[in-house]
Amino acid sequence: MQDDVIDAAQLAQLRGSMSQANYAMLLEMFAKELDTRLALLQEAWAANDRGRTAMEAHTILGLAGNMAMARLAGTARSLEAMAPEAPAALIGQTIATIIEQAAEARRALAAP
């Protein structure tokens, strides 16, 4: 597991706090919710709705933080803060980065 993508120690602590079945269910629920939120983030930005963009970034921040994904959480935090007034190009780049980091995190979660 890539430590810069996911904090392996924090994730191991989470994994150790529940049964293997519950952990597997948590990973499945996380993946579905992350996919939903990424789609909603893209929809909000496509509609030029900066408030919804910030809200979805905040939700992704929480999801990532709960799953030991500090880098993704940090990028989502940056997007949440910049969404109200930052230049559109910067917001678009940050959303692209979030999508890339989410994909990296999912690959890292799937790694043995």
Within a domain: residue 2? Answer: no
pLDDT digits (tens, 9 = 90+) for 59-85: 999 999 999 999 999 999 999 999 999
Helix (H, G, I), strand (E, B) or coil at 19: coil
Domain count of the chain? Answer: 1
Cβ–Cβ < 8 Å for 92, 48: no
Percentage with pLDDT > 90 across the chain: 81
Distance between CA 35 and CA 95 in Å, rounded? Answer: 13
Within a domain: residue 45? Answer: yes
Distance between CA 12 and CA 15 in Å, rounded? Answer: 5
Helix (H, G, I), strand (E, B) or coil at 112: coil
Instruction: Name the one residue in this structure whose structure tokens are 């994909």.
Output: 103
In this prediction, residue 112 has a pLDDT band, given cuts at 50, 70 and 90, of low
Within a domain: residue 54? Answer: yes
Q: What is the CATH number of the domain that holds 17?
A: 1.20.120
Q: Does residue 47 register a pLDDT over 70?
A: yes
Domain that holds residue 58: 8-110
Within a domain: residue 1? Answer: no
pLDDT digits (tens, 9 = 90+) for 27-39: 999 999 999 999 9
Q: pTM for the complete prediction?
A: 0.91
Helix (H, G, I), strand (E, B) or coil at 17: coil
Q: What is the mean pLDDT of the chain?
A: 93
